[in-house]
Structure 1
Amino acid sequence: MTLLRQRMLHDMQIRNLAVNTQKTYLLQVASFARHFRRSPEVLGPEEIRAWIIHLTNERKLAPASVQLAVGSLRFLYRITLRRDWSDEDFPLPKRPVKLPVILSFEEVTRFFESIPSLKQRAILMTAYAAGLRVSEVVHLKVTDIDSQRMMIRVCQGKGRKDRYVMLSPRLLEVLRLYWHDAHPREWLFPGSIPGRPISRHAVGDACQLARERSGITKPVTPHSLRHAFATHLLETGADVRRIQLLMGHRSMATTARYLKLATSTVCATTSPFDLLPHPAPTPSQPPAPEYF
């Protein structure tokens, strides 16, 4: 490990960046250095610009992936190397705004009915009932289920933050049925490796199998259930601030995006056109017959 790599790693550890973020940033910077076959210390804004063009035109990376590469370089040069460079030295591609496909209440019901395994059903129902990320679901422990206060404790979620979410009485029934069948000890959903929780890939595979069995044509992932959770809460009248806390969003703007997805609420709004007075037809101009 070079001194620069070690110093960058220490800077990320001091700032308590997630372990996966540390690994990703180091990989991105290493790829940048290998491309130019020089240490990043001797490279500058022109090489950064050329790297972004290479990632976009040659490697055909999506804007989100390019933003990740730029973010790692921004940390290296601004934090570790303390270069006083402006935002213009780290140009970011604009990410297209795409709305996720949302499952209806009926589709969520059909999806759950298509899961044959009690364990898989409990996992995916927990993801929907509490609006959890898949990484949060798989790392739940038995002690995180507080049936006395009807809460679920989410330990070290995204951003390394703890939070509490509601424990649905109906979900509690499912979890109790699952617990009497599987008797998990530490991890609520243990994996095939002793002492380890179930993997995210295993949950994703279970989700894909259930989608195929249900006949739902929409794309369904564990994160789709989280999207459905927030959207269904909005459509049933929940407050946006409360949803922000339940979802663990740092910014209200992130939660506000779900306002675009709550179509049953948004599209049910009365158009101002319907509030205009209806002009009475004049005697010389009788109403036209309706054909449609």
Structure 2
Amino acid sequence: MEKFLSQMMTENKANSTIDTYYARLKIFHDFLKSTGNDPRTLTPATMILFKNDLLNKGLSERYINNILSVVKNYFDFLILNGERTDFNPVLAPLKLRAKYPDTKVLTSDQQQQFLSWASNLQKNLYVGFLLMLFGGCRVSEACKLKLSDISLHKNGALYLTIEGAKWGSDREVPVMCSNAAKIIYEHTLDLDISSLPVTRCSPRTLQTYATQFSNISGIQMSCHTLRHTFATRLLEKGVEIEQIRRLMGHKNINMTAHYTQKAKINFKSIAPTIWQNN
């Protein structure tokens, strides 16, 4: 397994991706250790036992599928390196039908209420929330951005360069609110050490403050709610879903569709009336 993870590093996978692979492989490793199975001779029948073991632990269908996906990649690695000579035991029928959780999106009023509250926090924390709500950053991405990752273009637009992202989704994203862009840019001008992240805080800190707002206001939200809201607002403004996918750094269009399922689209301009001729 260490060789497999080393190969991932050689392929320039993001550190967060490698950490995720390690955590999921450890679950599999613990199962092999407890059952005395050797991955070089393991059969599909044993993989069914592994899947059932994960279900009995109460893990979600989506999380189990994610674990099985990493294990499948691990077995592909074994086959390519001659450790297995037959086939990959992680077969397609093992995949569970995942239930996507309901997405949480802030309404316009809730968004204004949150921004009013967040504006009273320390400037670096406020900027962190603006990066998620108007730049679509994951909380981990917002907390990694440095001065060199934020650039003001000649047309006045402020861009975020996100590198080392999940699934290799490196991208350049404009801040989608002029007022937020001004606040972020002015904050960068006050920073004296360019090598440190502009938010000067950890993801856990921002998550803690998001929970605090949720408890105070009664509005159910998290840092990820801001990312959902970013995608939803773009779709409502008429941005094509493929463009939103790229801005979000999603692996596929289905994920973007899930993020934007709460979008309220105005169909007045295309809906025919009963008085309209065909």
- Using the size of structure 1 for normalisation, the TM-score is 0.78
Q: Secondary structure at the match of 1:40?
A: coil
Identity between Structure 1 and Structure 2 (%) = 19
In structure 2, stretches of 5+ residues that fail to align are none
Q: Which residue identity does 1:166 align to in structure 2?
A: P
Matched, 1:8 2:4: yes
Q: How large is the RMSD of aligned CA atoms in angstroms? A: 2.7
Deviations 1:137-182 (A, max 9, x none): 0110012111134222112222234211113431232124434666
Q: Secondary structure at the match of 2:196?
A: coil
Aligned 8 A contact 2:142 2:199 in 1: no
- Displacement of 1:264 in angstroms is 4.4
Q: Distance between the aligned counterparts of 1:254 and 1:65, measured in 2?
A: 15
Give 1 or 2 for the bigger CA radius of gyration: 1
Aligned 8 A contact 1:49 1:90 in 2: no
Residue 68 (structure 2) aligns with: 70
Residue 174 (structure 1) aligns with: 183
Change (3 A) 1:146 1:181: closer
In structure 1, stretches of 5+ residues that fail to align are 192-197, 278-292
Residue 55 (structure 1) aligns with: 54
Change (3 A) 1:9 1:177: closer
Matched, 1:128 2:137: no
Q: Distance between the aligned counterparts of 2:48 and 2:269, measured in 1?
A: 46
- Using the size of structure 2 for normalisation, the TM-score is 0.82
Q: Distance between the aligned counterparts of 2:88 and 2:160, measured in 1?
A: 44
Aligned residues: 262
Of 139, 147, 162, 1:142 maps to 147
Aligned 8 A contact 2:25 2:67 in 1: no
Q: Secondary structure at the match of 1:114?
A: helix
Q: Distance between the aligned counterparts of 2:222 and 2:138, measured in 1?
A: 11
Deviations 1:71-109 (A, max 9, x none): 232122232144423763660111013330211111111
- Displacement of 1:66 in angstroms is 1.3
Q: Distance between the aligned counterparts of 1:212 and 1:239, measured in 2?
A: 35
Q: Secondary structure at the match of 2:115?
A: helix
Q: Distance between the aligned counterparts of 1:255 and 1:262, measured in 2?
A: 12
Aligned 8 A contact 1:231 1:262 in 2: yes
Residue 45 (structure 2) aligns with: 46
Aligned 8 A contact 1:128 1:225 in 2: yes
